[in-house]
Chains A and B, each alone.
Chain A
């Protein structure tokens, strides 16, 4: 009916997809790509641990206490990385340990991020005294050294992997709250939020449908980075005997069990330590790449 209205704004621009742009920025950071490759490999190892591991993680070979890795004198290819003090295959335990580490990371990030995002949204939207109360509680949590706080909580709740994860999640939560609140405060003044308000959107719609999806980029970066600190903290708690309990093949617990053999059998401490190092490094490198690709402030146009 209205051809005069169609002044033709209809020239088409085939701009490339978002994913391609993301990959361009991500792949510019070599370390990030290496980190991602290692992370993917580790995830595969965790998923298929039952098929990859040459032995059971808990079976004790009574004839092979503290056998060194295969390239050292006294080692055999049956136990590639040697055995521990009760004759369990170190390689198999490390492979199964990958599962625990990634599960810990994923669970902790899930709990910390969902709680943190919710509190951050509430604080950012409510302002006033609700905001003040939430943020001051978070400040208090941040003021206590994180490992110490986790330790106290596990001591109260009782040492177990579940409780350790919960404690770490609570310790990591304030970062998410602060990050979400900051993004909410920046986003909620933008015109698209106002126009949703003019359209009649209620507070819940504004929070979850309008604003939250636009705050996710920095939260994803934070999630990647706190994934690795969750693994580190869980290993630390395990080392102190407050995390996973033996015979669970969790890396920190393995380190703790091997403490007294440091001088006699270097491999029982070195390999779990290396496993933690490589995993955390890989995830951190990947997190840096994510930040380069997702954080608009670092993006150049």
Chain B
């Protein structure tokens, strides 16, 4: 059985202007020892879905899910007390801003020992010993000395190591890392990513990596889930994803990478991610999609399979990067032309 199984997770927020659906029927399955990356731009709901799992969203959020099971526990039906025994012990999270994730009033050692005290039945001396061991494990030099330091006395990279030490303190089965290296410099980012992968490898822990950086995904993840405007649009192992993306959004996103460009101009995706007030009918990516068909504007797509990839698209791209409808409509040229003119009209209307 999978370590984490989420089916149809939906999160809605009550805002000044009615309900806003930040996460829309997300599925996610994570097995022990997996490294899954959740990739998406801002507003794709990638952080919100993980915060919902952890029960860390404010009261304005309504969380619904068909199934939300972690390690045999149904997360949806947990009381706050039961949730606290799981969160932080079997399931831990690290955040983007290491500086603000640590309490500036207490020493690093106090905060690590506190999390040990909450979840493990250790004596004072054992806790101290374990704290030193943890800091050593995350590669901080002179761990005894660092334990007495306050967060502001350490650099961003060191604080992120402390956060990781706290997260792995109880040997969690699942570690969720929410943009763990975005606030850090590249050389420090390399260190932290190396550390996370090493920890995962040595302890058989599952790692969910939330990021927007395609480079980080390519170098660390085994499986990738791409999110767009709150929906999961594609899920594939990392190699085929970069080699032959199935969703037009993934394909366009990869094409927009500066290192994949050849000329003076980069490939770009026109328009912006739809927000609360301009959600299109039909497929959410349809206004920006270069392979858009009339059907895309009318009907909401459902998850389909394309050799190993799960895609939310009416016309997923094939291995050569051509949309499916191009093949289907190949013999009926006339029909194809019709739909093409429709598209142009719709595009004209959008401008």
Nearest chain-B residue to A6 (Cβ)?
Answer: B351
Q: Are B268 and A11 in contact (CB under 8 A)?
A: no
Smallest CB separation, A13 vs chain B (Å): 6
Smallest CB separation, B47 vs chain A (Å): 13
Q: Are A8 and B270 in contact (CB under 8 A)?
A: yes
**Chain B positions within 8 Å of A15 at CB level:** 275, 277
**Chain B positions within 8 Å of A24 at CB level:** 16-17
**Chain B positions within 8 Å of A13 at CB level:** 272, 275, 277-278
Task: Give the B interface residue count (CB, 8 A).
Answer: 14
**Chain A positions within 8 Å of B58 at CB level:** 300
A195 CB-CB contact with B under 8 Å? no
Nearest chain-A residue to B278 (Cβ)?
Answer: A13
Q: Are A10 and B351 in contact (CB under 8 A)?
A: yes
Q: State the CA gap A300–B58 with chains docked (Å).
A: 9
Smallest CB separation, B111 vs chain A (Å): 25
Of residues 241 to 288 in B, which have CB atoms within 8 Å of A's CB atoms?
268, 270-272, 275, 277-278, 287
Q: State the CA gap A9–B270 with chains docked (Å).
A: 7
A202 CB-CB contact with B under 8 Å? no
Nearest chain-B residue to A16 (Cβ)?
Answer: B17
**Chain A positions within 8 Å of B60 at CB level:** 300
**Chain A positions within 8 Å of B16 at CB level:** 16, 20-21, 24-25
Q: State the CA gap A16–B350 with chains docked (Å).
A: 20
Residue interface bits B13-39, CB-to-A below 8 A is 1, else 0: 000110000000000000000000000
Contact among B17, B268, B278, B350 with A7 in the assembled complex (CB-CB below 8 Å): B268
Q: Are A9 and B268 in contact (CB under 8 A)?
A: no
Of residues 1 to 53 in A, which have CB atoms within 8 Å of B's CB atoms?
7-16, 20-21, 24-25
A300-B58, A300-B60 known; A11+B278 contact, CB < 8 A = yes
Interface SS of chain B: helix, strand, loop or mixed? loop
Q: State the CA gap A263–B184 with chains docked (Å).
A: 73
Interface SS of chain A: helix, strand, loop or mixed? loop
Of residues 317 to 337 in B, which have CB atoms within 8 Å of A's CB atoms?
none
Nearest chain-B residue to A25 (Cβ)?
Answer: B16
A24-B16, A24-B17 known; A11+B272 contact, CB < 8 A = yes
Smallest CB separation, A61 vs chain B (Å): 54
Smallest CB separation, A272 vs chain B (Å): 41
**Chain A positions within 8 Å of B271 at CB level:** 8-9, 11
Output the residue of A11, A14, A25, A300 with the most chain B CB within 10 A.
Answer: A11
**Chain B positions within 8 Å of A16 at CB level:** 16-17, 277
**Chain A positions within 8 Å of B287 at CB level:** 11
**Chain B positions within 8 Å of A11 at CB level:** 271-272, 278, 287, 350
Q: State the CA gap A273–B61 with chains docked (Å).
A: 44
**Chain B positions within 8 Å of A10 at CB level:** 351
Residue interface bits A139-166, CB-to-B below 8 A is 1, else 0: 0000000000000000000000000000
Q: Are B277 and A7 in contact (CB under 8 A)?
A: no
Nearest chain-A residue to B287 (Cβ)?
Answer: A11
Q: State the CA gap A16–B275 with chains docked (Å).
A: 12
A14-B278, A15-B277, A300-B58 known; A9+B272 contact, CB < 8 A = yes
Q: Are A14 and B277 in contact (CB under 8 A)?
A: yes
**Chain A positions within 8 Å of B278 at CB level:** 11-14
Residue interface bits B215-231, CB-to-A below 8 A is 1, else 0: 00000000000000000
Nearest chain-A residue to B16 (Cβ)?
Answer: A24
Nearest chain-B residue to A15 (Cβ)?
Answer: B277
Residue interface bits B340-351, CB-to-A below 8 A is 1, else 0: 000000000011
A24-B16, A25-B16, A300-B58 known; A8+B275 contact, CB < 8 A = no
Q: State the CA gap A16–B15 with chains docked (Å).
A: 12
Smallest CB separation, B52 vs chain A (Å): 16
Q: A residues bordering B, Cβ < 8 Å?
A: 7-16, 20-21, 24-25, 300
23 CB < 8 A contacts A-B? A7-B268, A8-B271, A8-B351, A9-B271, A9-B272, A10-B351, A11-B271, A11-B272, A11-B278, A11-B287, A11-B350, A13-B272, A13-B275, A13-B277, A14-B277, A14-B278, A15-B275, A15-B277, A16-B277, A20-B17, A25-B16, A300-B58, A300-B60
Ordered nearest first, which 10 A-B pairs have the shortest CB separation?
A24-B16, A11-B271, A21-B16, A8-B270, A16-B17, A14-B277, A13-B278, A11-B272, A13-B275, A13-B277
Could you list 6 further interchain pairs (A-B, Cβ under 8 angstroms) beyond the known A12-B278, A25-B16?
Answer: A7-B270, A9-B272, A14-B278, A20-B17, A24-B16, A300-B58
